[in-house]
Amino acid sequence: MSAAVTVDAVSKRFRLYQERNQSLKATLMRRGRSRYEEHWALRDVSLEIPSGTTFGFIGENGSGKSTLLKCIAKILRPDSGHISVEGKVSALLELGAGFHPELSGRENVYLNGSILGLGRKELDRKFDDIVAFAGLQRFIDSPVKNYSSGMYVRLGFSVAINVGPDVLLVDEVLAVGDEQFQRKCNEKFLQLKADGITIVIVTHDLASVRSLCDVVGWVDEGRLREVGAADEVVDAYLDHVHVGRADEGGLGSRWGSGEVVVERLEVLNVSGEPVTRARTGDPVTFRVHYAANQPVERPVFAMAVHTLQGVELTHPTTRQSGLVPERIDGNGVVDLVVDRLLLLPGTYDASAAVTDYAALHTYDHRHRAVRFDVDPGTPHETDGGLVSLGGTWRVAPLRSDQ
Amino acid sequence: MATLTELSNARELMVNLTLRELRGKYKRSLLGWTWSLFNPLVTMAIFTVVFLVFLRVRIPPGDPSGMNVFAFYLLCGLLPWNFLANGMNGGMTALINNATLIQKVYFPREILVAANVASWLVSLFIELAVFAVALLIAGNMVLPWLPAVVVLVAVQAVFVVGLALLLSVLNVYFRDVQHLMAILLQLWFYSTPIVYPLTVVPTTVELFGFDLPLRAIYELNPMVGFVEAYRDLLYDLRVPAVGEIAYLLAVSVAALGVGLVVFNRLEPKLAEEL
């Protein structure tokens, strides 16, 4: 397999100006020297992306992965090293870049298309597809300033994806438009993938990296730390991120009167060790460590799991399970034992709280007390959603002779 | 090296960006395109009143056309001047105004500057066409001279694109450039025989006991040659001096050369400097 993208010993340096010479006066006063610090966004990065693969770059914010993508797109020029790309490149860095608000959708499709390197004849041929894909047939002759932001990015996406690239570069724009359009985008990506187009993605969405990418590169402080099969590299990356996360302590806010406090909330694996990762289907225990500074009657313990976006997935309480101690004093633990964790792969936060029996008074509430990741397990479901129903498929074809 | 398809795509992009400039310019204005004619007409009216009525500037009659209309004399200089001033101002800010585009998409960046100048070139052609009709009505048979005017416009366009390329990248690094240009353009306007005839500039002036060849120095300004050549072709109806045209051609090619060299030198860092 030949390489679609070859990156050879590429370094890129940025100047972080403290006092920028943006005027001649300043330049003359400082005799041409402006004060800046050098920041190496990329250092000696080499890799090959074989043609036809879907390649993902992951890494923390500011690690240099977007810079690398911009270098591949020829928007930034590396300070040393060399990048060669085989075939036509289309970059989805910003959707609808170059749209003129006063011009109609139609005029902007032609304008944007030619910016992305498409000839007029090709655009004539693809025009209907582009408009249909964006679902904007009715609005194509109105000025794009009247478009909603969703319509705007849909049209931008549709132009960019229909230019027929050999190499498609995508930076964090997978989540555009509504649910229906996202599904269309995903289908389109899979189709492009099937057509043998090389796709290079930069994203923080590790779940889509796992499901879309064949090969993943982990960029860390401007260096390429690891390249390999998607699951392995994502796992290695998560391990690394978790080491950093452990000493951060609580993530969210905390409130309450303090008669009883939640000292910490832990996720325990089957051997009873605190973990920050589990697999779908694993047995886990959520353990609340409490400390009652004075005797408290009939307290209620509660726990909740949220997505990072704040969707509450579950909110069990001891009261509803009929388990309310008459009185507590001193330290202790309350466990929520889960036989099978039915969360699908992703990152979640758990919160814990102690209230009085009527849930009118909060002794202590620790919002987002612990963050944990769920990796694919059993049931193996990675095509979307947050929870598994734990169901089993059965296929029973109807026989026509019956 | 640019391949053939890249060049043809660049041409289409150039056309599309020029259309964007043109369409964007007068969208949502009631008179639309008429504005592009209105502007030089109003300037012409003002200058005619100020310079002909108040200051009583005397202009020589057209030789050999015999035409003697101050407004037309003025327009011969004003139209190419407006092209220069608008093209330089527009081209100079073309990169800054399209910063997001430069930071997000790769394409040859020269096209942004060239397309802006091209949009003013289209305006110039429309203005010249209307002007030619007016001249015909007034009795100046300009038709045989029009092909030469087109060539002259092409040479001036090369000159303006060269300057715009140079200024556009410099302006990214030093925003002073655009303020400096506002002043320099005023100076340049009055150093060009637009509102007065070239003959009012003395051949020599005495300075510290030396004879300074003022006229010769004055004529180094390429806009003097351009305005005189437009006037020769449209007002006087005569062939401009060959030496003059050769000088304009040389200056224009040099301007484009310098513009391209500086532009290509500074272009790789544009996306991060913007």
Contacts of B173 in chain A (CB under 8 A): 22
How does DSSP classify residue B244? Answer: H
How does DSSP classify residue A361? Answer: S
* Cβ within 8 Å, pair A111-B12: no
Q: Which of B17, B24, B272 sits opposite A102 (nearest CB)?
A: B24
Q: Which residue from B minimizes the CA distance to A78?
A: B268
Name the amino acid, one letter, at A107. E
B28 against B93, higher pLDDT: B93
Q: Which residue from B minimizes the CA distance to A90?
A: B105
Q: Which domains does chain A have, with CATH numbers?
A: 3-242 (3.40.50.300), 254-375 (2.70.50.60)
Which two tokens mark A103?
């011009």
* Cβ within 8 Å, pair B101-A115: yes
Instruction: Report, as ranges of residue numbers, the positions in chain A whose pLDDT lies below 70.
Output: 1, 18-35, 173-177, 242-252, 400-402
Closest CA to B228 of B62, B71, B85: B62
Annotated domain spans of chain B: 30-273
Contacts of B171 in chain A (CB under 8 A): none
d(CA A334, CA A328) in angstroms, rounded, equals 12
A94 touches chain B (CB under 8 A): yes
d(CA B179, CA B160) in angstroms, rounded, equals 18
Question: Who contacts B241 (Cβ-Cβ below 8 Å, separation ≥6)?
Answer: none
pLDDT (0 to 100) of residue A173: 61
Q: Quick count: other Cβ atoms within 10 Å of Cβ A331?
A: 10
Q: Which of A23, A76, A119 sits opposite B9 (nearest CB)?
A: A119
Question: Who contacts B271 (Cβ-Cβ below 8 Å, separation ≥6)?
Answer: A70, A75, A76, B102, B103
pLDDT (0 to 100) of residue A242: 60
What backbone phi and psi angles, to 5 degrees, belong to A246?
A: -55, -40
Contact pairs from chain A to chain B, CB under 8 Å: 83
Q: Which residue from A minimizes the CA distance to B98?
A: A98
Q: How many CA atoms lie within 13 A of A393 on its CB side?
A: 6
* Cβ within 8 Å, pair B174-A27: yes
Tens digits of per-residue pLDDT, B231-241? 999 999 999 99
Which two tokens mark A28?
């003359």
Tens digits of per-residue pLDDT, B149-158? 999 999 999 9
Confidence of residue B73 (pLDDT cuts 50, 70, 90): very high
Q: Are A102 and A143 in contact (CB under 8 A)?
A: yes
Q: Which of B105, B271, B272 sits opposite A97 (nearest CB)?
A: B105
- Percent of chain B past pLDDT 70, that is, above it, reads 95
Tens digits of per-residue pLDDT, B75-90? 999 999 999 999 999 9
pLDDT (0 to 100) of residue A382: 79
The DSSP secondary structure of B192-240, one letter per residue, reads STTSS-GGGS-S-EEETTEEE-HHHHHTTSHHHHHHHHHHIIIII--PP
A115 touches chain B (CB under 8 A): yes
* Cβ within 8 Å, pair A23-B28: no
A116 against B216, higher pLDDT: B216
Confidence of residue B161 (pLDDT cuts 50, 70, 90): very high
pLDDT (0 to 100) of residue B116: 94
* Cβ within 8 Å, pair A77-B268: yes
- H/E element, A325: none
Q: Are A16 and A34 in contact (CB under 8 A)?
A: no
Contacts of A72 in chain B (CB under 8 A): none
Confidence of residue B6 (pLDDT cuts 50, 70, 90): low
Alpha-carbon distances, residue A86 vs A83, A197, A215, A270, B55 (angstroms)? 10, 11, 18, 50, 67
Q: How many CA atoms lie within 13 A of B121 on its CB side?
A: 22
Query: How far is the alpha carbon of A231 from chain B, nearest alpha carbon, in Å?
Result: 30
Which two tokens mark A157?
């996406």
Tell me the average pLDDT across B58-87.
Answer: 91
pLDDT (0 to 100) of residue B7: 63
pLDDT (0 to 100) of residue A21: 57
Tens digits of per-residue pLDDT, B164-191? 999 999 999 888 898 999 999 999 999 9
The reply to whether ipTM tops 0.85 is no
